[in-house]
Amino acid sequence: MERDSVSVAFVREALHGVSARGGDPERLLTDAGIAPSLLVDLQGRVSAAAFGRLWRASALALDDELFGQDRRRLKLGSLATLGLLCVHTRTLQQALQRGTRLLNLLLDDVRLELRHDARRATVVLLPNDCPVKVFAHETLVIVLQALICWLIDRRIPLLEAQFAYPAPAWAEEYPRIYSRNIAFDAALTQFSFPVTDLRAPVVQTERTLREFLRDAPANVIVKYRNPRSLSTYLRHALKHRKHGFELSFDAAAQELGLSPSTLRRRLEAEGTSFRLIKDGARRDVAIRQLQQTRRSIPEVADSLGFAESSAFHRAFIKWMGISPGQFRQSGRDEAGR
């Protein structure tokens, strides 16, 4: 499953910091278009766009772009300044060195450090004599991971992500957000990627930064997607063509003029696979059809290329934690309130 939606667990964590700083969680939820009743649903999810609106509303209300998670506010404009410093560097290594220095000046509870050896580069979060705040670490890793990918205009799959706290109740979300290789109860929170990527050129400019900031922070939450990437092309083909979900991997490779092995390798370099792209596209279309059309569940299943409704039923429970019928009914119940 790809990262187009966010567990309500992250919404709840964000609101804890807002409440501690005297903010009004219900007002922020309203501004973000998130129903407060959704927070009690352990399997509930909100769109990345909705979580982005919550992030922006929180930043405006608190003058803090980190949800009140640090003793010192990360004042409005801090992340824009971070981007501005980084685009005026030549390589990713220079950008990270400059960016971590800035964040170390702005934050009190954590210190960032870039380390590397012959095989991997690692960004480490070092606590400054204070308890680890789970959501602070989650958010900082998301921001840094998004910044890295955007600066060099391609997705960098993380080799590993370690977190200096026990696995939270929503730990199953971590592989979708960070890396397939996750470790908890680590000595330090850190994430690593191939050291060769440190030499990658920074290709963004002040102009593209302005474009990036117009869509922030929603585009920080979702996995970085280059609009010219193969994964973006395939996702669009699956979701918007008639009978798009009948597209096979071999047919996709032929259409792109690539051998299957080359397509597989290039998708891996983008941090995904044809199966993951197809799974995520099916989920998105299923949600849209269940919410916005009167198609029967067997009709939805057929449109997504499932041979049997039972297979769609199992897949949807895996995606959303509830059956398609329960999902559709929950939307009707919410609309009737």
pLDDT digits (tens, 9 = 90+) for 67-77: 999 999 999 99
Q: What is the 3-state secondary structure (H, E, C) of the chain?
A: CCCCEEEHHHHHHHHHHHHHCCCCHHHHHHHHCCCHHHHHCCCCEEEHHHHHHHHHHHHHHHCCCCCCCCCCCCCCCHHHHHHHHHHCCCEHHHHHHHHHHHHHHHCCCEEEEEEECCCEEEEEEEECCCCCCHHHHHHHHHHHHHHHHHHHCCCCCCCEEECCCCCCCCHHHHHHHCCCCEECCCCCEEEEEEHHHHHCECCCCHHHHHHHHHHCCHHHHCCCCCCCCHHHHHHHHHHHCCCHHHCCHHHHHHHHCCCHHHHHHHHHHCCCCHHHHHHHHHHHHHHHHHHHCCCCHHHHHHHCCCCCHHHHHHHHHHHHCCCHHHHHHHHHHHHCC
Examine the pLDDT at 332 and tell me if it is beyond 70.
Answer: no
Once rounded to an integer, what is the mean pLDDT over residues 40-52?
Answer: 85
Q: Where in the chain is the domain with CATH 1.10.10.60?
A: 230-335
108 vs 242, which has greater pLDDT? 108
Determine what percent of the chain is predicted with pLDDT higher than 90: 59
- Determine what percent of the chain is predicted with pLDDT higher than 70: 94
pLDDT at 219: 80
Taking only the tens place, the pLDDT of each residue in 6-21 is 899 999 999 998 999 9
Segment 139-174, tens digit of pLDDT: 999 999 999 999 988 878 788 999 999 999 999 989
**Is 0.85 topped by the overall pTM?**
no
Mean of per-residue pLDDT scores for the chain = 89
Choices 3.30.420.40, 1.10.10.60, 1.10.8.60, 2.40.160.40: CATH for 230-335: 1.10.10.60
Query: How large is the average pLDDT for residues 59-65?
Result: 95
Tens digits of residue pLDDT in 208-251: 999 889 888 878 887 666 666 788 889 889 988 888 999 999 99
Q: What's the pLDDT score for residue 233? A: 87
Read off the pLDDT band of 2 (50, 70, 90).
very low
Per-residue pLDDT at 92: 97
